Amino acid sequence: MSTRSVRTGTAVPLRRDDVDTDQLSPARFVPYYRPDGFTNILFADWRTDPDFVLNQPQYQGASVLVAGHDFGTGSSRESAVWALQGAGFQVVVASGFGDIFRGNATTRGLWTVEVDHDVVERLWREVEADPWLPLVVDLTARRLGFGAGECPFRIDEPLRRRLLRPGDRIAETLLHLAEVEDYESRRVVP
């Protein structure tokens, strides 16, 4: 169950660090962009291994991905976010994110929740022990709940506010068009 400020779901424990955007969205799929066509590309190469965690039946239907440090490093390809969303993920919990990926995730409404690595380790253990354990991500309170456990998480304030108040960002900027034009009239071309 999800609201604008709380998302709840079961999780997949992805025991990997440095998950780069080439894994999230392998290059060979990138040119085939269709907003509705990114359901089967997430971790396409890792998924060929039947033992890969996303292939396990107990994790089907999960909407939270729990990974290690530096998730989403590498290329700026926004298809990394589309691929996660196409696979049903609404939240990624990790002990650090690539900056560009995190911005892209926010643009498209995918929540990125940063916690300490020991929290990640604990989540991995608890979810492996109970794959049906619901995780509750409260963006207003900035808290992550899991069974009996609970902890705060980190997210930059502009990102958090954007996620709580999605909308047409371009329309908001165009409200300030007169200021943009004023800036342009004063601008010295470097």
Partner 1 sequence: MTGHRTLAEKIWQDHVVRPLDDGSDLLYVDLHVLHEVNTPRAFDDLRAAGRTVRRPDLTLAVEDHNTPTGEGGREDLAGRRQRDLIRANCAGSGIRLHRLGDPDQGIVHVVVPELGLARPGMTIVCCDSHTSTLGALGVLAFGIGTGQVEHVLATQTLPIHRPDDLAVEISGVLPDSATAKDLALALIARIGTGGGRGSVIEYRGEAVRALSVEARMTLCNMSVEAGSRAGLVAVDDATVHYLRTRTGARFTDAEPRWREMRSDDGARFDHVVHLDAAQVGPRVSWGTNPAQNLPLDGRAPSRSDCATEQEWATTQRSLAYMGLRPGQPMRDVEVDTVFVGSCTNGRIEDLRETASVLSGRKVADGVRMLIVAGSAAVRRQAVAEGLDRVFSVAGADFRPGAGCSMCCALNEDRLAPGERAASTSNRNFEGRQGKGSRTHLVSPRVAAATAVTGRITTPQDL
**According to the binding rule CB under 8 A, does residue 168 interact with partner 1?**
yes
CB 47 within 8 A of CB 54: yes
Closest to 102 in 3D by CA, of 89, 118, 113: 113
Site string for partner 1, 136-155 (x = CB under 8 A): --------------------
State the Cα–Cα distance between residues 142 and 68, nearest whole angstrom. Answer: 19
**According to the binding rule CB under 8 A, does residue 20 interact with partner 1?**
yes
Residue ranges in 65-104 that form contacts with partner 1 under rule CB under 8 A? 68-70, 73-79, 81, 96-100, 103-104
| CA 72 from centre of chain | 9
Cβ distance to partner 1 smaller for residue 43 or 146: 43
Nearest distance, CB of residue 36 and partner 1, angstroms = 12
Residue ranges in 99-128 that form contacts with partner 1 under rule CB under 8 A? 99-100, 103-104, 107-108, 121
**Partners of residue 113 on adjacent β-strands:** 93
State the Cα–Cα distance between residues 101 and 7, nearest whole angstrom. Answer: 20
State the Cα–Cα distance between residues 174 and 180, nearest whole angstrom. Answer: 9
Nearest distance, CB of residue 158 and partner 1, angstroms = 4
Write the CB contacts of 180 (distance below 8 Å, at least 6 apart in sequence). Answer: 173
Enumerate binding residues for partner 1 (CB under 8 A).
15-18, 20, 22-23, 26-28, 30-33, 35, 45, 68-70, 73-79, 81, 96-100, 103-104, 107-108, 121, 156-159, 161-162, 168-170, 173-174, 176-177, 179-180, 183-184, 187-190
